Amino acid sequence: MGMFLVIVGYVLALLATMLGIGLVVFVISILRTEHRYRDFPGPKRDSFLLGNILSIMGTKETLGQPFGMLMYTLTLEHGPVFWMRIFSRAHIIASVPEVVKELLLNSRHIKPLRFYHHFQYMFGTRFMGTGLVSEINHEKWFHKRAIINPAFRRKYLIGMMEKFNSESENLCEHLVSKADGQTEVEMLDEFNNVTLDVIANVAFSMPTGAIGDPSCPFPAAFNACLRGMQTMIEQPFHMYDPRSKTRKVRNESREAVNFVRETGRQHIKERIEARQRGDHVPHDILNVILDCANDLVDDKDFTMENMVDEFTTIFAAGQETTSDLLSFTIQQLGRNPEVAKKLQAEVDEVLGQKSYIEYEDLAKLEYMMMVFKETLRLYPPVIGTTRVTAHPIKYKDLTIPAGVEVSVLHSVMARMEEYFDDPLLFNPDRFKPREDDKLPRHIYAFFPFSIGQRSCIGQQFALIEARVILGKLLQRFEFHFNQSQRTVILDELTLKPLDKCKNYLTLRV
């Protein structure tokens, strides 16, 4: 017994020594970080050990504000380039065009694995894997992008106009029964369903039938996936929390991920087998990708799991963001009747009573594009992006070191008078085409689809889809916005109206 106690004593002493050494190393790391960034402005640390993490994480809970609004407030206080400390690690927020241009146009500055790991794996279960959004290795990403690019080119998407029209028409037919002027319609949910059906049809010829079917499992599955990712980002130790409610969140997220990935895997397998048999296959994005990938044969970077990664990425990245854009647009039309009246007049002039919207019609909806851009300026679904610097970047008398995470947030720059006059005013006319050859002030301050090589591959897809959906809705319905709704923004990885953009609809006469 005495020997056992001696052994236990030695073990405890060893553990205490190791913890002590670890604490000393951690404190030294903090001191080194503080010294390295001593010339950078920034908010006061919440505590020596934690840095600014409490104020960052507490913003949503205590102030009801998304992360981007906190960064806007801190930018006003500390200037366009400042730093924060998260434990012992520095993080820089830079809201200046010079840094945006360098970070996003130079592919040597890569995405941080620490953040995008949450996209790759959710609570240990593969989600987006190494899809286009979450692939960190630039050479591998470039190879995959080259394979997928043809499926998102404008020429191909023009051929998909029938599918864009048909799914938008399905939404209109579904809403007719609710257009009595008394039924409150949560347009965010309606847009979630139609954008899901659009991307499933156009990309994969896969009928999801989310419009008008509350039992469709896809909307709930993707919502669970997004909530799971948001939880991992905001609560990094959630994975190890033994409480039953946290285990429930983890299990629901994993089940949702497995459902989405298994659906994609089965659909891709069936398509490959059909192609091998020589069967007629649909003309869709999946078929274009398989043509380019040569059915996955002898391509170690484009295996079945990689294909499932892209399936999941296309759904998750394309469906939610377009839905958020349409919801905020309807919200702003309800709050700005003069903008709504002007947009309605354009739709009537360009589309009239046409039941089928041609691709050529979209270019004529100039004011609608200006409305979308202004909505994206003030209410972007994604607030910005982050890179790890490959080399030092100079800004005035500051030098951003190599190897540090830098976030550039267009949601912050959109509210700065340096780039936009009267920035808090919703004014689509600010995006009128310029008559001179001068570049606009916001050339590197407005990038809702990012810029550079890693700009959003689905930008054209989203803008075609959004114009067709909104055009058809404004042809058929009058929207009466519920003005009692709060202006609070819900931050669930993407930004969306908390009260779901509630409207009363009536048919146009």
Query: In 3D, which of 344, 378, 372, 375 has the Cα closest to residue 467?
Result: 372
Q: What is the mean pLDDT of the chain?
A: 90
305-340 pLDDT tens trace: 888 999 999 988 888 899 999 999 999 999 999 999
Q: Which residues contact 198 (CB under 8 A, 6 or more apart)?
A: 163, 164, 167, 168, 465, 469
Looking at residue 14, its pLDDT comes to 81
Across 120-134, 228-242, 435-449, which has the greatest mean pLDDT?
Answer: 120-134
Q: List strand residue ranges (DSSP E) for 123-279, in order.
A: 125-126, 180-186
Give the separation between CA 33 and CA 152, rounded to whole angstroms: 43
DSSP tag of 47: B
Judged against a pLDDT cut of 90, whether residue 219 lies above it is answered with no
Query: In 3D, which of 486, 498, 496, 477 has the Cα closest to residue 183?
Result: 477
Give the separation between CA 270 and CA 442, rounded to whole angstroms: 47
Give the separation between CA 460 and CA 410, rounded to whole angstroms: 20
Judged against a pLDDT cut of 80, whether residue 455 lies above it is answered with yes
Judged against a pLDDT cut of 70, whether residue 437 lies above it is answered with no
Give the separation between CA 277 and CA 480, rounded to whole angstroms: 53
- Domain coordinates of the chain in residue numbers? 37-111+383-447, 127-374+453-509
Judged against a pLDDT cut of 70, whether residue 298 lies above it is answered with no
Residues 105-117, mean pLDDT to the nearest whole number: 93
Single-letter code of the amino acid located at 231: T
DSSP tag of 91: E
491-505 pLDDT tens trace: 888 899 989 999 999
Q: Which residues contact 300 (CB under 8 A, 6 or more apart)?
A: none
Looking at residue 1, its pLDDT comes to 65
Give the separation between CA 51 and CA 84, rounded to whole angstroms: 7
CA atoms within a 13 Å half-sphere pointing along the CA-CB vector of 289: 25
Give the separation between CA 51 and CA 168, rounded to whole angstroms: 48
Judged against a pLDDT cut of 70, whether residue 109 lies above it is answered with yes
In this structure, CATH architecture of domain 127-374+453-509: Orthogonal Bundle (1.10)
Looking at residue 61, its pLDDT comes to 61
Q: Are 40 and 81 in contact (CB under 8 A)?
A: yes
Distances (CA, A) of 158 to 165, 194, 207, 291: 11, 19, 21, 19
Q: Are 477 and 364 in contact (CB under 8 A)?
A: no
CATH dotted code for 37-111+383-447: 3.30.43.20
